[in-house]
Amino acid sequence: MWEQIRANRRKSVALVIVMAGILLIFGFVIGEAAAPGAGPGGVFLALIIWLIMSLISYFAGGAIMLSVSGARKIEKQDNPRLFNIVEEMQLASGLPKMPDVYVIDDHAPNAFATGRDPQHCAVAVTTGLLNICNRDELQGVIAHEMAHVKNRDVLLMIMVGVLMGTIVMLADGLLRAFFWGGGGRRRSRTSSSKGGQAQAVMLIVALLLAILAPIIAQLLYLAVSRKREYLADACGAQFTRYPEGLASALEKISASTHDLRRANRATAPMYIINPLKQEGMAAANLSSTHPPIDERVRILRGMGGGAGYNDYESAYRKVTGKAGILPSGALAGSQPAEARQAIDDKEALKSDVERVRETTDMLWKMKNYAFIPCACGVTLKVPPGFNRPEIKCPHCGTAHKTQAT
Amino acid sequence: MGGAVVLIVVVAAVIIALMVMGTYNGLVRLRNAVKNAWSQIDVQLKRRHDLIPNLVETAKGYMKHERETLEAVVKARNLAASARESGNVANSASAESQLSGAMANLFVVVERYPDLKANQNFLSLQEELTSTENKVSFARQFYNDSVMNFNNKIEMFPSNIVAGMFKFKAADFFEITEAAQREAPKVSFS
């Protein structure tokens, strides 16, 4: 486990350095194109932008992500089942601290984890996910998310995302400046024709970079982020010892026709499944932050009764025909693990109706509605502003006292 | 000439000392990981032992004819609680697997009492207990992985030399006999 985190850290640092290199070269070229000798100034400017954005997202990224997605924190009594599952997975993954649990009121089933390190982490799930998943499936999803925290994937996403954002921003700015500021360049050419020529070359290089840099950065980023998804799946199987749970959850999530209302391109890579539905394009495979779901499911189902990293690795080879996906450090240090049986107790095998009721009740409670059970079996939900002393049951007509009295 | 030999010897000694130091620190880190993982199990076991009396109390009112089943649970729970307090990993493991068997029996019997199954208090206790059992087994998974790492390091060359020098002892696995846990409880509906 530690081997794997260390290997991840090395790769993350390498990726960040490469992308920072792209950014700085880009800054230099832009500077030179703007005025001869201003290259270092451009580098400096790029550095400052990068630094400020990194600091903001390092310290506030999690909070921003949670508030953008409309997530709300819950306590144990709001949803004991979800809370318990998160606690179970915290124990299985050996994370030092229980993550905060958030719920997003959205019919689209999805989930994500945030937090720069295990001390500052949170998991968020949508109510849609709570509605369709049984205990085993929910466990699989949470395990996948905890694996992202444990493997420091979230930190990588933050750092790389910021770099990518900065590169795209500079490229955008440059292209815009080119279209609007063409006149200024011509005037400077008259002052010294030699410097003007060098500057024109620089300008062409800058334009090329403005087009290429974002693409290169994105491809690098995608390759890494997809690898991390596979790794998180493997960890999820290892934590739960039940690959089928995650497999069937992924299937259910991808079969859903709901779109996540508050997801955008910036937050998409954080979710367990890409929340933005892609129109059937061949390029979708290359430009997606997530591996194709049917492939993930087939790998998880092909683990042949095992739940260890080695089982995942051989299933991956069989399904994709590629050499392998998991870091060798993880494979060497891993213990063989056998998959367990499905959880077989009545509480876990609740019907969909019961689950939906449980979730909606949770939402009512979070909005401070009071619950009054009636003898006829109906539960009255009283809104927080209700100030009459009595309320009648709409089913049987019995009068109940409210808390307003 | 003599100076070069001395230098080589000194450099070699320093390198060996550093290696011993690194290995020693690694062993201590792994041993602490094992200890920490055990305390996670311990917390969950204690929670389980605390929950069971409440559950039995709630069930008692509904299950007049199941005294034996309930008593078996209470007995197994007391045994497991005292095994936990003694701190012996192997004893604790076998007592826990017996307790799991008794609990499985109880939950099968509960199926015959719809009133009890509808009791809100009982339902939330059942969710807590189910989850606590899961937590025990997940904490056990992590504990056993930590023990495996630690024991491997103690037995493998060259760290075994350092482990022998400082008397590191291999840790016990927390094995729950699968037979007791998996065995389907026998129920007769006659």
Burial of A281 (0-12, 13-18, 19+ CB in 10 A): exposed
Pairing of strands A370-373, A122-126: unpaired
Pairing of strands A71-73, A122-126: unpaired
Residue A125's pLDDT band (cuts 50, 70, 90)? very high
Q: Chain B interface residues facing chain A, Cβ-Cβ under 8 Å?
A: 37, 40, 44, 107, 111, 117, 123-124, 126-128, 130-131, 134-135, 138-139, 141-142, 145-146, 148-149
HEC-encoded secondary structure of B99-117: HHHHHHHHHHHHCCCHHHH
- Tell me the average pLDDT of chain B: 83
The dihedrals phi and psi of A71, each to the nearest 5 degrees, come to: -80, 145
Q: Chain A interface residues facing chain B, Cβ-Cβ under 8 Å?
A: 1, 80-81, 84-85, 87-89, 91-94, 239, 241, 333, 335, 343, 345-348
Please state, for a pLDDT cut of 70, what percent of chain A lies above it: 83
The dihedrals phi and psi of A391, each to the nearest 5 degrees, come to: -140, 140
Q: Which is more confident, B55 or A347? A: B55
Closest of A52, A168, A161 to residue A116, by C-alpha: A161
Instruction: Give me the amino acid identity at A198.
Output: A
Which of B142, B143, B173 is most worth mutating to test chain A (most A CB atoms within 10 A of its CB)?
B142
Q: What is the distance of C-alpha A129 from the center of its chain? A: 15
d(CA A13, CA A224): 12
Q: Which residues pair with A390 in a beta bridge?
A: A401
Cβ contacts of B77 within 8 Å, gap of 6 or more: B49, B52, B53, B99, B102
Tell me the CA distances in angstroms from A328 to A7, A37, A325, one per residue in order.
9, 47, 9
- Say whether pLDDT at A281 is over 50: no
The mean per-residue pLDDT over the stretch A129-153 comes to 90
Burial of A354 (0-12, 13-18, 19+ CB in 10 A): exposed
Domain positions in chain B: 39-172
d(CA B45, CA B41): 6
Lowest mean pLDDT among A84-88, A207-211, A314-318, B183-187: B183-187
Tokens of A335: 């213990």
Which residues of chain B are within 8 Å of residue A93 when distances are taken between CB atoms?
142
Residue A187's pLDDT band (cuts 50, 70, 90)? very low
**Max avg pLDDT among A1-5, A47-51, A286-290:** A47-51
Is the ipTM reported for this complex over the cut 0.90?
Answer: no
- Say whether pLDDT at A92 is over 50: yes
- Say whether pLDDT at A135 is over 80: yes
d(CA A335, CA B147): 11
Binary contact (B131, A92; C-beta < 8 A):
no
Binary contact (B117, A346; C-beta < 8 A):
yes
Residue B17's pLDDT band (cuts 50, 70, 90)? very high
The mean per-residue pLDDT over the stretch A200-212 comes to 79
Query: pLDDT for B137-169, tens place per residue?
Result: 888 888 888 888 888 888 888 888 888 888 888
- Give me the residue label for tokens 């206790």: B125
Contact present, B136 and B45 (Cβ < 8 Å): yes
Angle A341-B51-A356 from CA coordinates, rounded to 5°: 55
- Say whether pLDDT at A333 is over 70: no
d(CA A251, CA A120): 30
Q: What is the pLDDT of residue A90?
A: 92
d(CA A77, CA A325): 40
Query: pLDDT for A233-262, tens place per residue?
Result: 998 998 998 999 999 999 988 887 777 776
Order the strands of the A122-126 sheet from edge to edge: A71-73, A100-104, A122-126, A111-114
Lowest mean pLDDT among A85-94, A285-294, A318-327, B117-126: A285-294
Residue A123's pLDDT band (cuts 50, 70, 90)? very high
- Tell me the average pLDDT of chain A: 79
Please state, for a pLDDT cut of 90, what percent of chain A lies above it: 12
Q: Considering the domain delimited by B39-172, tell me its CATH architecture.
A: Up-down Bundle (1.20)
Residue A279's pLDDT band (cuts 50, 70, 90)? very low
Query: pLDDT for B48-100, tens place per residue?
Result: 899 998 888 888 888 877 888 888 899 999 998 888 888 777 788 888 888 88
- Say whether pLDDT at A102 is over 90: yes
Q: Point out the residue among B37, B127, B138 whose CB comes nearest to the CB of A88.
A: B138
Q: What is the pLDDT of residue A214?
A: 77
